Amino acid sequence: MEEIFIVDAVNYLFRAYYAIGPMTNDKGESTSALYGFIRSIQKLIKDFSPKNIVIVFDGPDNKRSRQEVYADYKMHRKKAPEDLYTQFGHAFNFCKLAGISALSVPGVEADDTMASIAMWAKKNNLKSYLCTTDKDLYQLVSKDIVGLNTYKDNLILDEPKVKEFLGVRPDQVLDLLAIMGDKSDNIPGLEGFGPKTAATLLEKFGTLDNILANIDKVPGAKKQEILRTQKDKAILSKKLATLDINVEIPTDLEFYRLKEPNIIELKEFYHEMKFIRLLQAFGKPEEEEAKEEKKEFFSDIKTNYKLIDSEEELLKLMQTLHKAKEICIDTETTGGHPLLAKLVGIGFCVKRGKAFYIPFNDTLDEILILDQIKPLVENPKIGFYGHNLKYDYHILKNYGIEIKNICFDTILASYLLNPQNRRHGLDRLALEYFDKKKISYDELTKKEKKKVSLKDVPIEKVSEYCCEDVDYTARLKKLFEKEIKKRKLEKLLENVELPLLPILAKMERAGIYVDAHNFTQLSEELKKEIHLLQEEIFKEVGKEFNLNSPKQLSEILYKDLGLPPPRKKTTGYSTAADVLEKLAEISPLVAKILQYRGLQKLLTTYIDALPKQINPETGRIHATFNQSITATGRLSCQDPNLQNIPIRSEGGQKLRRGFKPQQQEWSYLSSDYSQIELRLLAHFSSDPELLKAFNAGQDIHAHTASLVYNVPIEDVTKKMRHSAKAVNFGILYGQGPYGLSKQLGISFREAADFIDTYFSKYKLVKPYLDKCIQQTQKKLMAVTLTGRQRPIPEINNKNPHVRAAAERLAINTPLQGTAADIIKMAMIEVEKEIEKLKLQGFMILQIHDELIFEIPDIEVDIFKKIVQNKMENIINLSVPLLVDIQVGKNWGEC
């Protein structure tokens, strides 16, 4: 029997909208529902390989016919989010491009269209699968029509399953709906008759008609009274729930056939929606499919990839490369950690489409290769570029070779052009810009379901892979160079990001020393403290339980102890930190539980974990600093994240004391910008009160408190200053009254009044913040003082939550982004001075507004002078930049 799959488009789109977090394309349009819808349809097609399929949408003015019967039909239904409506049209368009039939009949609801298709299919000997979670359609279920819930492991709802699911047979579903009603559709039903009652009555009497004909036999006088007085309501409800099976639909089976997709237009659609993952499903396109403007980079270039496997070819290649002005380079290695990986081979590209790969194997002598490469790479007259060149810089440095002239990095260019994207991998970019599905590293290193090292992969395959990498990096460079220039980002790339690259590499190679013995002692102390705290908690509760289990903790708090629970979620009552912090105000036990959590995290995340990351050869931890992750321009740190080491708690201080110089008579020097973002707020807004306070060297939080509370600055209390500090920093992140009220534990009204007073005292701050939002709404991007751009197209999104988040970014990005660029520029200038004076000390960490140096004690004074001078004078503002400098024998002392 031939089959047809009838899909409830609105049902799928709604589910996807609420299941997937916010997604937007370059125009700022919401796309999460569309993305989830497409993935669901693709899964359906993959799982069932349907020959016939149709996606059914509501038609315009679809409620009209039922509202003529009952004016309140669906009138109380909450309006769908505005940013979901636009996705309906995109979903319909996707169906057209994907070769899937779609129907939207004017004046008709999707349920009725689906019912009509199913009944037509039944008459024509087709088995129908109703793809929906809407129980209304289960009234159609029969031998030839079944429900299909693709969200529950492709659950088939045949006649027995409907009975199991709803408690009634499919032929009773309509009567069930008539009795119990449907709140979402505003079908009234009978007052007080729920699904269980309705199912029980139908089990006993068979039909609604029989129930109404035998009211006296219905158990319960109250139920009998309702049935007598609301009989008409039940009949009306049945009429509203009855599906129309006579909708005019296409009756040619060919209409429903799954057709070949329009690959070219579908790809363009995915590009427009920024669905890169969906693009990955496509293989290499035919040349004629490439977009006209991409031909320069793709279709007119014939690839010529060469494996260099003889000394003669190597020497000939070196002669060619020495004549080049710029060379793309890529290293292939045994692993991901740049300080531990060994070379497997090196790729070079001078001209797009032409690439070379030199393998490190038995054919060519390794020393010979390195001797040939070193003078080439260290020639300052030849510019070298790559994709994530810092990794290749490290690998070559491991062999005593240093790239002297870094002229470009496509990962940094991609990041500057699209900082809102967190992924800038070469495979992704080649696919996005050239429709090129490259050989992936995972594919290359997968052998019989196991991962192997690149050195165990056949040389010919590695050669093709590496040549592809350098070739497409060269193509991206040409593309990005034009765009960087067009967007006026050359100075940021050339004067900030590229010079910073070798400095970060130097910091990563230097690493930070960790006193493993100190950490072992601290671990033992903390374990004892945690054990004692755990025993105290168990004693107060009266029994032992798993403190790390949210479920068990929830039962203890809300059931055994009877504490007031927060709003219940599907998984139970929350034990999240913000919830426990509120409960701690009324329960000392909860305060102990929070203390336990804090110590446990300190132990597992840092104290026991960090020593495991010590490099056995250097005795130091070598973290990685990322230039292409955060949208504001800030650096991030990973493996481990040393920017996130706790500072305020006693445990955090003890932890920091375990970081110290490796040599005797050396110290740490910490230099931290003082309130840089607030100073930038003063500069950008030109607010006279802020300018006066900073230029007079006043404590800005105390100054704010004196203005808001209308007291002399000497009368400002610690509590007043704390509240003022919260507002000062909250303003930087677009915080409103709700956020402030939660932070300070005050009412919404008090918080709103506080913010209003703040803006009345700093009169030009609010206009500046409004201007940030307005300019971003107009340009769809926020811009820093140094010209860094952050696209924020979602600032005009119709979803108020998405829009509000975008407005906060519009406010914060110019401040945080400018601060990020200032410290980057300072790092460059400080490093120049260190090299110029040939100092022994070196930079080891950057933590947003702070730099940390490891220096010999004899260089403390000169480092203080250099660092303070360079950091404070790196840029001219209308307020002074101040740097706090601390020197200590360990990080904790700083």
* pLDDT tens profile 470-504: 999 999 999 999 999 999 999 999 999 999 999 99
Hey, is 325 helix, strand or coil? coil
Q: Which of 434, 507, 461, 506 has the alpha carbon at shortest distance from 332?
A: 461
724 in Cβ contact with 675 (< 8 Å): no
208 in Cβ contact with 190 (< 8 Å): no
Per-residue pLDDT tens for 218-271? Answer: 888 887 888 888 777 777 778 888 888 999 999 999 999 999 999 889 999 998
Task: Using DSSP bridges, classify how beta strands 383-386 and 406-409 pair: parallel, antiparallel or unpaired.
Answer: parallel
Residues 6 or more apart in contact with residue 701 via CB below 8 angstroms: 721, 724, 725, 728
Give 411: exposed, middle or buried? Use CB within 10 Å, 0-12, 13-18, 19+.
buried
* pTM greater than 0.85 (yes/no): no
Q: What does residue 790 show for φ and ψ, rounded to 5 degrees?
A: -125, 105
**Has residue 292 got a pLDDT over 50?**
no
Give me the amino acid identity at 646: P
What percent of the chain lies above the pLDDT cut of 90? 69
pLDDT for res 68: 53
Q: How many whole angstroms separate alpha carbon 521 and alpha carbon 650? A: 15
Among 39-43, 73-77, 430-434, 843-847, the range scoring the smallest mean pLDDT is 73-77
Q: Which residue has the tokens 């609105």?
A: 10
Hey, is 49 helix, strand or coil? coil
DSSP 243: P
Q: How many whole angstroms separate alpha carbon 499 and alpha carbon 501? A: 6
411 in Cβ contact with 418 (< 8 Å): no
Q: Which residue has the tokens 């799982």?
A: 47
The domains found in the chain, sorted by start residue, are 2-256 (3.40.50.1010), 303-487 (3.30.420.10), 515-613 (1.20.1060.10), 677-813 (1.10.150.20)
Give me the amino acid identity at 810: A
What average pLDDT does the segment 742-763 reach?
91
Hey, is 230 helix, strand or coil? coil
Q: How many whole angstroms separate alpha carbon 452 and alpha carbon 448? A: 10
Q: How many whole angstroms separate alpha carbon 14 and alpha carbon 37? A: 9
**Has residue 290 got a pLDDT over 50?**
no
Q: How many whole angstroms separate alpha carbon 748 and alpha carbon 871? A: 40
What average pLDDT does the segment 768-775 reach?
96
Q: Where does 435-497 have alpha helices with state H? A: 441-444, 459-486, 490-492
What average pLDDT does the segment 82-95 reach?
92
Q: How many whole angstroms separate alpha carbon 797 and alpha carbon 24? A: 9
Hey, is 255 helix, strand or coil? helix
